[in-house]
């Protein structure tokens, strides 16, 4: 089983739609969680950290479910510019290895 798994998609949604992605992790000792956005063949850019209590940044909401070992990203009112690949990153306590999922492709359609 992979350490971090994501549905590769693509998720094709119309503008204005709400879309959610999940990312599951296998190591219960995972301590830190992040969402990144990557545009085609460019470097990943940090979207947001994921906190135990959940957090929101504008149209983006991130949640952590430790019991079921997954994190989620919700995007409301999707824009064309949200089209990208969304990567989750998980850091395991003690190793400080940032393990990335393979990413979920989102296409927002006009």
Partner 1 sequence: EAGVTQSPTHLIKTRGQQATLRCSPISGHTSVYWYQQALGLGLQFLLWYDEGEERNRGNFPPRFSGRQFPNYSSELNVNALELEDSALYLCASSYGTGNEKLFFGSGTQLSVL
- In the complex, least distance from residue 84 CB atom to partner 1, rounded to whole angstroms: 14
Give the count of beta carbons closer than 10 Å to the beta carbon of residue 58.
9
In the complex with partner 1, the residue whose CB is nearer, 63 or 101, is 101
- In the complex, least distance from residue 42 CB atom to partner 1, rounded to whole angstroms: 7
> For partner 1, which stretch binds (CB under 8 A), given 17-25, 37-45, 64-72, 73-81?
37-45
- Cα gap 23→17, rounded to integer Å: 20
- The answer to whether 37 and 88 are in contact (CB under 8 A) is no
Q: b or e along 72-94 (b: 16 or more beta carbons within 10 Å of the residue's beta carbon)?
A: bbebeebeeebbbbbbbbbbbee
> For partner 1, which stretch binds (CB under 8 A), given 12-20, 52-60, 74-82, 92-100?
92-100
- Residues found near partner 1 in the complex (CB under 8 A): 31-32, 34, 41-46, 49, 87, 89, 91, 93, 95-103
């Amino acid at each position: 089983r992979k350490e971090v798994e994501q549905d590769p998609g693509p998720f094709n949604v119309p503008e204005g739609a709400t879309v959610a992605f999940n990312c599951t992790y296998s190591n219960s000792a995972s301590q830190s969680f992040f969402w990144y956005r990557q545009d085609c063949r460019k470097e990943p850019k940090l979207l947001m950290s994921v906190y135990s209590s959940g957090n929101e940044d504008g149209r983006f909401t991130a949640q952590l479910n430790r019991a079921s070992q997954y994190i989620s990203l919700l995007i409301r009112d999707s824009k064309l510019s949200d089209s990208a690949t969304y990567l989750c990153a998980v850091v395991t306590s003690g190793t400080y290895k940032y393990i990335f999922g393979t990413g979920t492709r989102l296409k927002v359609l006009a």
